[in-house]
Amino acid sequence: MAQALVLEKKGELSLREIALPSELGPNDVRIAIHTVGICGSDVHYYTHGAIGPFVVREPMVLGHEASGTITEIGSNVRSLKVGDRVCMEPGIPDPQSRATLMGQYNVDPAVRFWATPPIHGCLTPSVVHPAAFTFKLPDNVSFAEGAMIEPLAVGVHASVKAAIKPGDICLVTGCGPIGIMTALAALASGAGQVFITDLAPAKLAIAGQYDGIRPINVRDEKPRDVVDATCGSDWGVDVVFEASGFAGAYDDALACVRPGGTIVFVGMPIQKVPFDIVAAQAKEIRMETVFRYANVYDRAIRLISAGKIDLKPLVSETFPFDQGIAAFERAAEARPSDVKLQIVL
């Protein structure tokens, strides 16, 4: 039995003892959890009880953005040792699946992802995890930053899919945590300037702290007008990252991308959205999609360690473990000034 933050059912959280897997296999490590970030998906399970086909039907431990310290290693583990500070990639695929063997393990239908029903998450003092999906943190990367590698990996994966070239001009639609981290990943990947759009002045102000990011409040400015002033009225940005999942943003994406440019779909709309395929064909746009990430955790860690990405301004508040329920209640408020809330165990 272990203490954990448990989602009992929609709208009901408790901090209690629960039976969790604890056996250490030869290729596993045991990790004392230090910091866990609250993700939008955690909040959605809390407030709605489901995300698409993933429905909370029995009590589930929340949390999948985590860092901690190794306390025990399996007999076959050579790359890590007791005392290493680490972060963990939360999705574990079938190592023999066709998707995994192709290097696209993130789309393996059998992947087991922390805090995705019925899989328990990591908001508990200790977890067992495969060493292959556990990554050592450099000394200059804090536990708080380590717990943000998971959402940053989405932005890094999106930038890899975008094939950004040095000096590219990009647009990110949506200034939530993933949107901001995607903008930072694009800059670190060589983009010369990144526009980012939203309706929330507080979040745009946070993004605007970073050199190279130009916020656009869509209540006050049309993204296409701002893009025209930089790129020319007959052109557009090289890459658009759609990170909002908002139906209206798709028109902005198509309007703002240049002929022959790229749109990367990062955000997930709640419902199907109309998309003008003919307009995309007329510009011969390259379109990419991302689902979580694959093979980029080490890249994300190096970008932080090298000072290419600074995530510290994105931590809005940190809560102790015994105030975990209050932390989720705060996250459910969706305060415009909050980017990332974290829980320290």
Domain with residues 2-148+311-344, CATH architecture: Alpha-Beta Complex (3.90)
What pLDDT, on the 0 to 100 scale, is given for residue 52?
Answer: 85
Report pLDDT for 270.
Answer: 83
Question: Burial of 52 by CB count in 10 Å (0-12 exposed, 13-18 middle, 19+ buried)?
Answer: exposed
| Each residue's pLDDT tens digit, 105-161 | 999 999 999 999 999 999 999 999 999 999 999 999 999 999 999 999 999 999 999
pLDDT at residue 36, rounded to an integer? 98
Confidence of residue 331 (pLDDT cuts 50, 70, 90): very high
What are the pLDDT digits (tens) for 24-57?
999 999 999 999 999 999 999 999 999 988 999 9
> Residues 181-198: what's their mean pLDDT?
98
Q: Where are the domains of the chain?
A: 2-148+311-344, 155-289
**Percent of the chain at pLDDT above 90?**
97
For residue 290, give Cα distances in angstroms to 142, 195, 239, 265, 267.
27, 20, 14, 6, 9
Q: Which residue has the tokens 């600074």?
A: 310
Residue 1 is predicted with a pLDDT of 87
Which pLDDT tens digit goes with each residue over 272-316? Answer: 899 999 999 999 999 999 999 999 999 999 999 999 999 999 999
The pTM for the full model equals 0.96
Name residue 87's beta-bridge partners.
Answer: 67, 135
Predicted confidence at residue 128, as pLDDT, reads: 98
Q: Does domain 155-289 have CATH number 2.60.40.1930?
A: no
Task: Output the pLDDT for position 308.
Answer: 97
Intrachain domains 2-148+311-344 and 155-289 with the same fold: no
| CB of 144 closer than 8 Å to CB of 137 | no
